[in-house]
């Protein structure tokens, strides 16, 4: 770690943050990064010198903004400390510029804090340009120069295009379990599309399910290595996309996970406890073979599989235009409990929807399902409740209904705020 003070800036290169994604109620940095502290702000840059976090020192204590690798600014809001942890199991409420936060009606780009922080970054760049002029060959000034270059709007645009070339467009949704690694996952598609193409879904691509060839998957791993470059050392978690990777052949799932782990050097990451995330459908969970879970359990990852159940009520399935019935949901839920009990390194969680157009029977079916776990709940697994985008229910409805559901369910229950990449 090298630190220097110049013209009112404190610059620290290769600063070591926490090697664990701890859940804490203050801004904690993870992995290795460069930090520039001014009188009013703290700016953090990744190992490619790209801006990652901006935190105000005076304005809103404890809040910050993050720029993810798809160049979306995410506002880590404490929402007045009004019980964010009860809703999310996290201390921070992620607010995006592309969708309103359903819990507190916040768009990140509309906040005064974002505008101030963005202007502060522009001012920082001007200050860095001035410092470099005085001694362009100085080692730290070389880093400052790189910071200016890679954070130019054109460079960011190019980087996003590169990212979307690998992912074949926007990663429309990440599993809710990715919250355990602050959504810092490498999104490797091993499948495209999904089995059901449900009428209600706002994240589907509307294409038939298909597994990708292992050659294409391995090629993407190589491309990701180049894309993340030096900052790959801050990553150790993988999302196997797209919407139903569990439905791929077992060999593809295991080969993709193992190869990504080795080729992306997760064993050397600054971050500890590597995690693997995938979505599964009710049918893919019911049909998955014991051998797949045995193999997943022996990988160097802790694996989260998130299953889209949505309801356990047949009338609701017809309304959602999802081709499922309650009997199948019960079968999948029982499998989820068994797998969570049997495999130490695998945790299955389930998603359900909420909205003011859904009936009492829908909510009761979720509660009854959760209670059917009885003594089979082994402290693993959770229910995630996703407010339906089309419902447009006011945040007061979402908060009240969710807290009632959380209190009534016999499973750990959280709100699922859909996050893209
Ligand atoms: S809810 Fe899941 S299965 Fe249904 S359309 Fe969306 S992604 Fe596909």
Q: Are residues 306 and 276 in the same domain?
A: yes
Q: What backbone torsions phi and psi does residue 151 show, to the nearest 5 degrees? A: -100, 10
Any domain includes 91: yes
- CA of 226 from ligand 1 middle (Å) equals 31
- CA of 197 from ligand 1 middle (Å) equals 5
38: Cα separation from own chain's centroid: 29
Q: Counting atoms of ligand 1 from 1, which one is nearest the CA of 281?
A: 3
Q: Are residues 98 and 237 in the same domain?
A: no
Q: Are residues 149 and 29 in the same domain?
A: yes
Mean pLDDT of 203-207: 89
Using the 3D structure, point to which of 155, 186, 209 is the last residue of a domain: 155
Q: Are residues 280 and 410 in the same domain?
A: yes
Tally of structural domains, the chain: 2
Q: What angle do CA 49, 228, 241 make, to 5 degrees?
A: 140
- CA of 172 from ligand 1 middle (Å) equals 11
Q: Are residues 245 and 360 in the same domain?
A: yes
Show the ligand 1 pocket: residues with CB < 6 angstroms. 194-198, 201, 203-204, 243, 281, 308, 322
Nearest CA to ligand 1 atom 1: 201
Q: What angle do CA 350, 356, 359 make, to 5 degrees?
A: 70
* Under 8 Å between Cβ of 107 and 100: yes
- CA of 198 from ligand 1 middle (Å) equals 5
Side by side, the strands of the sheet bearing 64-67 are 2-6, 9-16, 32-37, 41-45, 51-56, 64-67, 73-77, 93-95
- CA of 95 from ligand 1 middle (Å) equals 23
- CA of 22 from ligand 1 middle (Å) equals 31
Q: Is the pLDDT of residue 1 over 70?
A: no
Q: Are residues 115 and 194 in the same domain?
A: no
If you write DSSP's letter for every residue of 114-144 in order, what string do you get?
HHHHHHHHHHHHHHHHHHHHH-TTSHHHHHH
Q: Is the pLDDT of residue 230 over 80?
A: yes
- CA of 171 from ligand 1 middle (Å) equals 14
Q: Counting atoms of ligand 1 from 1, which one is nearest the CA of 173?
A: 7
Which pLDDT score, from 0 to 100, does residue 238 have? 98
Is 193 or 104 the better-scoring residue by pLDDT?
193
Using the 3D structure, point to which of 130, 155, 180 is the last residue of a domain: 155
pLDDT digits (tens, 9 = 90+) for 149-165: 999 999 999 999 999 99
Q: Is the pLDDT of residue 192 over 80?
A: yes
Q: Is the pLDDT of residue 110 over 80?
A: no
Mutate to test the pocket of ligand 1, among 174, 202, 203, 311 (most ligand atoms within 8 A of CB): 203
Any domain includes 420: no
Q: Counting atoms of ligand 1 from 1, which one is nearest the CA of 310?
A: 1
pLDDT digits (tens, 9 = 90+) for 13-33: 999 999 999 999 999 999 999
Q: Are residues 191 and 339 in the same domain?
A: yes
Mutate to test the pocket of ligand 1, among 198, 389, 416 (most ligand atoms within 8 A of CB): 198
Any domain includes 162: no
Which pLDDT score, from 0 to 100, does residue 134 have? 83
Mean pLDDT of 79-86: 86
Q: Are residues 199 and 237 in the same domain?
A: yes
pLDDT digits (tens, 9 = 90+) for 372-419: 998 777 789 999 999 997 766 788 999 999 999 999 999 999 999 999
Q: Are residues 351 and 202 in the same domain?
A: yes
Q: Are residues 149 and 182 in the same domain?
A: no
- Read off the CATH number of the domain in which 392 is found: 3.20.20.70
Which pLDDT score, from 0 to 100, does residue 391 have? 66
Mean pLDDT of 318-328: 98
Which pLDDT score, from 0 to 100, does residue 143 have? 94
335: Cα separation from own chain's centroid: 25
Across 4-8, 127-131, 331-335, which has the greatest mean pLDDT? 331-335
Any domain includes 326: yes
Any domain includes 339: yes
Using the 3D structure, point to which of 155, 179, 203 is the last residue of a domain: 155
Domain extent at residue 72: 2-155
Any domain includes 200: yes
Q: What percent of the chain has pLDDT over 90?
A: 82
Q: Are residues 172 and 147 in the same domain?
A: no
Any domain includes 50: yes
Any domain includes 197: yes
Q: Counting atoms of ligand 1 from 1, which one is nearest the CA of 243?
A: 7
Q: From CA 230, how far away is CA 218, in angstroms rounded?
A: 20
Q: If pLDDT is split at 50, 70 and 90, which confidence band does 138 have?
A: confident
Q: Are residues 139 and 47 in the same domain?
A: yes
Q: What backbone torsions phi and psi does residue 395 show, to the nearest 5 degrees? A: -60, -30
Which pLDDT score, from 0 to 100, does residue 394 have? 84
Mean pLDDT of the chain: 94
- CA of 46 from ligand 1 middle (Å) equals 34
89 three-state secondary structure: coil
Nearest CA to ligand 1 atom 3: 196
Q: Counting atoms of ligand 1 from 1, which one is nearest the CA of 197?
A: 5
Q: What angle do CA 295, 30, 115 make, to 5 degrees?
A: 125
Residue 321 makes CB contacts below 8 A (sequence gap 6+) with: 198, 199, 200
């Amino acid at each position: 770690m090298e630190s220097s003070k110049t013209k009112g800036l404190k610059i620290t290169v290769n600063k070591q943050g926490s090697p664990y994604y701890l859940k804490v109620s203050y801004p904690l940095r993870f992995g290795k990064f460069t930090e520039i502290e001014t009188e009013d702000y703290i700016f953090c840059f990744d190992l490619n010198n790209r801006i990652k976090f901006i935190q105000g020192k005076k304005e809103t204590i404890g809040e910050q903004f993050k720029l993810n690798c798809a160049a979306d600014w995410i506002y880590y809001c404490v929402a007045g400390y009004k019980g964010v942890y009860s809703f999310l199991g996290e201390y921070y409420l992620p607010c995006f510029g592309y969708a309103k936060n359903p819990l507190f009606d916040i768009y990140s780009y509309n906040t005064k804090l974002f505008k101030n922080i963005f202007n502060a970054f522009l001012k920082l760049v001007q200050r860095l340009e001035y410092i470099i002029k005085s001694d362009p060959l100085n080692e730290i000034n070389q880093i400052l120069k790189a910071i200016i270059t890679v954070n130019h709007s054109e460079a960011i645009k190019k980087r996003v295009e590169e990212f979307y070339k690998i992912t074949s467009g926007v990663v429309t949704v990440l599993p809710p379990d990715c919250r355990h690694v602050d959504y810092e996952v490498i999104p490797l598609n091993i499948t495209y599309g999904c089995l059901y193409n449900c009428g209600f879904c706002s994240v589907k691509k509307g294409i038939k399910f298909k597994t990708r060839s292992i050659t294409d998957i391995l090629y993407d791993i190589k491309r990701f290595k180049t894309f993340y470059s030096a900052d790959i050392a801050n990553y150790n978690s993988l999302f196997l996309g797209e919407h139903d990777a569990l439905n791929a052949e077992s060999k593809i799932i295991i080969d993709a996970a193992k190869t990504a782990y080795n080729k992306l050097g997760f064993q050397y990451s600054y971050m500890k406890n590597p995690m693997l995330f995938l979505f599964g459908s009710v049918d893919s969970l019911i049909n998955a073979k014991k051998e797949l879970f045995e193999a997943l359990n022996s990988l160097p990852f802790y694996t989260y599989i998130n299953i889209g159940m949505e309801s356990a009520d047949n009338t609701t399935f017809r309304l959602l235009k999802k081709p499922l019935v309650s009997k199948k949901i019960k079968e999948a839920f029982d499998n989820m409990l068994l797998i969570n009990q049997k495999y130490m390194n695998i945790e299955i969680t389930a998603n359900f929807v909420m909205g003011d157009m859904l009936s009492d029977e829908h909510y009761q079916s979720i509660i009854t399902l959760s209670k059917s776990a009885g003594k089979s709940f082994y402290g693993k697994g959770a229910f995630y409740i996703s407010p339906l985008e089309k419902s447009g229910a006011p945040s007061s409805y979402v908060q009240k209904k969710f807290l009632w559901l959380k209190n009534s369910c016999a499973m750990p229950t959280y709100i699922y705020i859909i996050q893209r990449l």
